[in-house]
Amino acid sequence: SQQGEEDPQALSIQEGENATMNCSYKTSINNLQWYRQNSGRGLVHLILIRSNEREKHSGRLRVTLDTSKKSSSLLITASRAADTASYFCATVTQGGSEKLVFGKGTKLTVNP
């Protein structure tokens, strides 16, 4: 069963705009990861944030984590058409097994 739930399910924006995707999860975590999937391809890791971190940056990506609200957000700034993809959050549950459990993803469309 899914641990993380992404919101919104789909997002359509214009090139140059920022895109924000949210992830909520149910149980305490050790870390949370974001992945990207282009249509017909495998998932690609974007960023990992640990439970004791609140914010992390990687290029145009900014991830925040609020463990009190059990939520995370992924911000893509100055979006490009090439950012069109599905984005997934995945969690490693604290005190549980080592497995990574994925949400159902947000489908992002960036219009040129």
Partner 1 sequence: DAGVIQSPRHEVTEMGQEVTLRCKPISGHNSLFWYRQTMMRGLELLIYFNNNVPIDDSGMPEDRFSAKMPNASFSTLKIQPSEPRDSAVYFCASSRIVGPNTGELFFGEGSRLTVL
Burial class (CB in 10 A: 0-12, 13-18, 19+), 15: middle
- Judge contact between 85 and 2, C-beta under 8 A: no
Among 39, 42, 68, 69, binds partner 1 (CB under 8 A): 42
In whole angstroms, what is the distance from residue 89 CA to residue 73 CA? 9
Would you give the binding string for partner 1 spanning residues 14-33, x where CB under 8 A is met? ----------------xx-x
Q: Contact region for partner 1 (CB under 8 A) — 13-21, 53-61, 63-71, 95-103? A: 95-103
In whole angstroms, what is the distance from residue 62 CA to residue 73 CA? 8
92 belongs to the binding site for partner 1 (CB under 8 A) = yes
* Footprint of partner 1 (CB under 8 A): 2, 30-31, 33, 35, 41-45, 48, 50, 88, 90, 92, 94, 97-105
